[in-house]
Amino acid sequence: MTRFDAAEPADRRKLYVDAITAHRERGSGFLTLEADNSVIEADDESLEQTHDETAVGRDSESESANESAAELGIPWVQFSDGTINLDCTDAELDVLKGVLDEFPAFKIDDLNRPEEAEGVNVRISAKADPNRIAQFVDDVFLEVYDLPPSIRVWAVGI
């Protein structure tokens, strides 16, 4: 693999396919994809400015996405042996279930709600080709984590 990040939608999906292929060829334990931290930091600053300027009239959906990023950290997705693993809030889990409706071959295998951690750890069976997995992963970053279409994603572990 020669590149480890991408920001354009088609480039991100190609990055995911290449990373899945490299992961399988290497026989590594798992592949980790992570949203670029700068978007989260910018969202946090935007949320602080919005909060400072007015305590009412905030966009609650956008605010919720920013707060969930603050609660759970940088959005990430892992892949290994046909399983996708991710952490999300309860609100993001509801969105994830909607995304899964568009991918009938993908099913939630396990939900884990650790007492010592915020959110839900979700394991999804993804018995599909790398292109379909890439489409799903991109939808997770864009729809579930409510990140902008220009989000840069990094392959941080292959």
**pLDDT tens-digit map of 94-125:** 999 999 999 999 999 999 998 888 899 999 99
> φ and ψ at 27, to 5 degrees?
65, 30
The reply to whether 99 falls in a domain is yes
| Whole-prediction pTM | 0.81
Q: Specify the 3-state DSSP secondary structure of 147.
A: coil
Q: How far apart are alpha carbons 75 and 65 in whole angstroms?
A: 11
The residue assigned the tokens 């930091």 is: 41
The reply to whether 114 falls in a domain is yes
3-46 tens-digit pLDDT: 799 999 999 999 999 999 999 999 989 999 999 988 666 555 54
The reply to whether 4 falls in a domain is no
Element (H, E) at 80: strand 76-80
73-95 tens-digit pLDDT: 899 999 999 999 999 999 999 99
The reply to whether 158 falls in a domain is no
State which residues form the domain around 123. Answer: 9-49+60-153
Whether residue 65 contacts residue 145, with contact meaning beta carbons closer than 8 Å, is answered with yes
The residue assigned the tokens 């946090």 is: 44
